[in-house]
Amino acid sequence: MRVNSYVALLGLLHVTGGSANGSPAPALPYTAQTYTSSEGTPMVFDESTLIKLASNGTSPSIVILDYGRNVEGYATFHVSKRSGDTSTFEMTYSETRALLDSDMGDGPMPLAAAMDTYRINRYNITEQKTYTNRLIQGGLRYQKLNLSSAGEVELSGIGFKPTVSRAPIAALPGSFSCSDPVLNRIWQVGARTTQLTEIPAKSLPNFWVITDEGAFIDSLAPQPFSADFATAMTAYDLEFSVKPIMNGFGFTVLSDTLANGIYIFVNVANSSISAHAGSTERSDPIASAKLPSNITLNQWHIVQSNVEMVGISVRIDGVPVFNFSQSAAFYGSFGLGASLGHSALFTNVSLTVSGQDMYYSSLNDASALQDFLLGTNPLPVSVDGSRRDRIAYAGDLDMATGTAFASTYGHDYINGTIELLGSFQMPPGFFVPTTKIQQAPRKTEIDANITGLIGYSFSMVSAMARFYEQTGDANFLNHWAPKTARMLDWAHSQTLPNSLFNISNSALGGDWNYYDPALDGVVSKFNLIYAYALKQWLPFMDDAGLNTTLYAGRLHNLQNAINKHLWSDTLQAYYLSDSHKDFLSQEANALAVLADTTAYGNRTSRTVLSTLARELYVPSGALAFSNRSAASGWAQKISPYASGYHLKAAFHANDSVTANYLLHSVWGPISDASHTNYTGCMWEVMMADGTPGLGSSTSLCHAWSSGPTADLSRYVLGVQPVTPGFKEWKVVPQSLDLDWAKGAYPVPGGKINVDWSFDSNNLLHMTVTAPNGTRGTVYLPTPLKETLHKYNATAFLSNEKDFFTVKGGETFSIHQTD
């Protein structure tokens, strides 16, 4: 996800420590599948393809490569021949073909230092050699090559050196296939999304080039200086020395942690200076001025900027050159950078607040990278998206966790993300919702009493419960249980006399749908995500030494209160909040089903699921909020994230009609290789008509949309743990109108393999194997096509007569004979 600046301010705090030795694993580069030649002819690309570009200097030579689905990594190419003027060669990247034609591709991506800022890289080709980009391009499907100077080049070995695992999906520890090809591709596209968002430890390169003279910055958005105090600064003096090399440089003041502030664009080549909201010069200027002509390239200059909230002034070499007032940003840090095609050396940066020296660096050693969060990532982490934001978020993590365990078995990435985000717990018990991955886990508590996105603190503890459920890692449980208890106890302390959880400070009430109004007071979603977190943890509380009776009692009271107070007879669902009783949230109601909260009076999960079908379904899927929400300012969008909880709820309630509907309508088009915008990955959010939901910034490779992969494995293969870590397990398939399904589920010590099918007489055949030393129970897929009368099997039906008891290390099979 991405968040608004207020949340970002609260969310991303700095710590020191951690190392910066990038060592990406060597791997074969990705190559394109097809390309369009400079004559416009579609061609097949293979590893021996030579690309020729020839321009006369007025008409550029353009070749477009299509990788067929998203790839990522370091762009690389080999110049096998060159002649004439080859000084102006550029490559542009995009997830969609449409945005490849925009002047910036589908960028820029200034939010963090985890990827190149610009989706364009320019080269002055002077030699026949291999060129490899210094920084990572996140998810992209298309690459445009453009020679515009009067010369010729011949290129071979064009591709991307991956920085994440590129194991074929078929070779992943987890697998799933069935008689419906749509479900197969959904499972695979979810697995691929997970693969692209799992970032190995120490795989990010340094964002700046550190030299003896200072930091060399070429075509990179400023990243904010990171310190606990810096996020809230409103008035300060910034000073630095700069030697502009190409065209000029830039810096931000009043910047939030996602680099958004006031960008001061110093175009030395053009003797101009201008101020822009954001982190590039791409928005209309707030103010501009001419620079004295003696401010030139290739000379050191001293820049001083005085920030007094709305009033900002700049002096260069002691001469006042720029002075303006603005109302686009009011607090935040500073950053140093350079626009596309600009570069400069920076040194001797200092920050003074109220006459006090707060920071100084000569920017000529690695500590500078840490100060601005520009180094490598100390831990393996799971991030929100491959192209954007490449930042860790707790809400996204809860969805990514299930999918990682079912497919890549990337437990290290989940564990690393929990370790990182979980170290940012605050004295009251809640967590920050998000951290940049260049940070190391905090060793001390944050002295702050406020967080954003309170729902994400519950997602955080739910993800911990899932991790323990899957691994049975007792050390993990013992480490996180006390921290979880603090979070849950804080939530309890915020309940009203009627037992409902209440948001008393509106700063806490934002959510993943940051483009909609924030909510406070009594909000169904926050009550239900609290109930869900309790529900997820209850089975493990005894193991963790927590008082199960106490938390079970709280859950019981909470569920009763939710049912008594938050139900709308008119809507036949839980309403949005005390302040909005006329519409409903998809996610809140799905969480009610998942937390077993719906059984009350004559209400059941069916009541809720049929209301969601009636109120939310549109041809392209299901809306995240019912129609009436539009009148209160809610966007009408389809969220594969919220739909992910809806799908889990459908499976939890054995509702195959809803599950099939959501799978085919929400995720069917995303995973369809013939869709215009296919990336082989899950999309972040859609408009009600199925088009990208946040315009050109929409991430088309977003882990929070990959939920179905986990659910197909858990509910259609049917593999579920009975005890944490699968020492005891069960197989409980929902047949979902399929003829067959088979696959493997990775567990500690091996895999659980399941294969079930109905033959042409509608009789069931099923095989299950599991690691030696485990034991399990196997239920037959429901519903069967024919009632079970006779069978032969390697085990006998249990006394309860609806499951078989199976020992790991032995093959269980059953054949229905009548």
Residue 467 or 715: which CB sits closer to ligand NAG? Answer: 467
Residue 164 or 291: which CB sits closer to ligand NAG? Answer: 291
Residue 50 or 269: which CB sits closer to ligand NAG? Answer: 269
Q: Residue 78 and residue 69: Cα distance in Å, rounded? A: 23
The reply on whether position 550 binds ligand NAG by CB under 6 A is yes
Question: Binding mask 689-728 vs ligand NAG (x if CB under 6 A, - otherwise)?
Answer: -xxx---x--------------------------------
User: At residue 501, what is the residue type?
Assistant: F
Site stretch for ligand NAG (CB under 6 A), options 91-99, 130-138, 402-410, 631-639: 91-99
Residue 182 or 448: which CB sits closer to ligand NAG? Answer: 448
The reply on whether position 549 binds ligand NAG by CB under 6 A is yes
Site stretch for ligand NAG (CB under 6 A), options 38-46, 155-163, 184-192, 408-416: 408-416
The reply on whether position 547 binds ligand NAG by CB under 6 A is yes
Site stretch for ligand NAG (CB under 6 A), options 39-47, 166-174, 411-419, 724-732: 411-419
Which of 31, 272, 313, 660 is the binder for ligand NAG (CB under 6 A)? 272
Handedness of CA 709, 715, 719, 721 (dihedral sign): positive
The reply on whether position 475 binds ligand NAG by CB under 6 A is yes
Site stretch for ligand NAG (CB under 6 A), options 264-272, 321-329, 359-367, 491-499: 264-272
Q: Residue 40 and residue 35: Cα distance in Å, rounded? A: 9
* Tokens 């986990």, residue located: 710
The reply on whether position 327 binds ligand NAG by CB under 6 A is no
Handedness of CA 404, 409, 412, 415 (dihedral sign): positive
Q: How many CB atoms lie within 10 A of CB 317?
A: 14
Virtual torsion, Cα 230, 516, 112, 455, nearest 10 deg: 80
The reply on whether position 137 binds ligand NAG by CB under 6 A is no
Residue 41 or 792: which CB sits closer to ligand NAG? Answer: 792
Q: Residue 815 and residue 794: Cα distance in Å, rounded? A: 9
Beta bridge partners of 815: 765, 792
H/E/C letters for each residue in 330-366? Answer: CCCEEEEEEEEEEEEEEEEEEEEECCEEEEEECCCCC
Count of residues near ligand NAG by CB under 6 A: 53
In angstroms, give the least distance from the CB of 632 to ligand NAG.
Answer: 27
Residue 6: CB partners within 8 Å, gap ≥ 6?
452, 507, 510
The reply on whether position 815 binds ligand NAG by CB under 6 A is yes
In Å, what is the CA distance from 800 to each residue of 774, 796, 803, 804, 807?
21, 11, 7, 9, 18
Provide the token pair at 113: 């230092």
Site stretch for ligand NAG (CB under 6 A), options 46-54, 87-95, 617-625, 749-757: 87-95
CA angle 183, 189, 194 (to 5 degrees): 130
Q: Residue 375 and residue 19: Cα distance in Å, rounded? A: 8
Residue 413 or 645: which CB sits closer to ligand NAG? Answer: 413
Q: DSSP state, 169?
A: G
Q: Residue 387 and residue 136: Cα distance in Å, rounded? A: 10
The reply on whether position 90 binds ligand NAG by CB under 6 A is yes
The reply on whether position 292 binds ligand NAG by CB under 6 A is yes
Do residues 321 and 312 make contact, with C-beta atoms less than 8 angstroms apart? no
The reply on whether position 792 binds ligand NAG by CB under 6 A is yes
Residue 217 or 464: which CB sits closer to ligand NAG? Answer: 464
Residue 212 or 447: which CB sits closer to ligand NAG? Answer: 447
φ, ψ dihedrals at 570, nearest 5°: -65, -45
The reply on whether position 478 binds ligand NAG by CB under 6 A is no
Residue 323 or 549: which CB sits closer to ligand NAG? Answer: 549
The reply on whether position 289 binds ligand NAG by CB under 6 A is no
Do residues 231 and 9 make contact, with C-beta atoms less than 8 angstroms apart? yes
Do residues 394 and 456 make contact, with C-beta atoms less than 8 angstroms apart? yes
DSSP letter for each residue of 618-680: ETTEEBSB-GGGGGGT---EE-HHHHHHHHHHHHHTT-HHHHHHHIIIIIHHHT-TTSTT--S
* Tokens 């010069």, residue located: 281
In angstroms, give the least distance from the CB of 679 to ligand NAG.
Answer: 10
In angstroms, give the least distance from the CB of 631 to ligand NAG.
Answer: 26
* Closest C-alpha to 793, from 774, 810, 775: 810
The reply on whether position 358 binds ligand NAG by CB under 6 A is no
* Closest C-alpha to 172, from 577, 709, 762, 773: 709
Please list every residue from 237 through 256 that binds ligand NAG, using CB under 6 A.
none
Which of 42, 311, 783, 809 is the binder for ligand NAG (CB under 6 A)? 809
User: At residue 762, what is the residue type?
Assistant: N
Cis peptide preceding 389, ω within 30 of 0: yes
Query: What are the strands, taking DSSP E only, across 386-530?
Result: 392-393, 434-435
Handedness of CA 28, 29, 30, 36 (dihedral sign): negative
Please list every residue from 589 through 608 that binds ligand NAG, using CB under 6 A.
601-602
Which of 3, 15, 71, 99 is the binder for ligand NAG (CB under 6 A)? 99
The reply on whether position 62 binds ligand NAG by CB under 6 A is yes
Site stretch for ligand NAG (CB under 6 A), options 58-66, 321-329, 533-541, 615-623: 58-66
The reply on whether position 58 binds ligand NAG by CB under 6 A is yes
Which of 23, 59, 130, 325 is the binder for ligand NAG (CB under 6 A)? 59
The reply on whether position 126 binds ligand NAG by CB under 6 A is yes
Do residues 577 and 524 make contact, with C-beta atoms less than 8 angstroms apart? yes
SS3 174: coil
Residue 517 or 755: which CB sits closer to ligand NAG? Answer: 755
Residues that bind ligand NAG (CB under 6 A): 56, 58-60, 62, 87-88, 90, 96, 98-99, 124, 126, 146, 148, 267, 269-270, 272, 292, 294, 317, 319, 411-412, 415, 419, 427, 447-449, 471, 473, 475-476, 547, 549-550, 553, 601-602, 676-677, 690-692, 696, 772-773, 792, 809, 815, 817
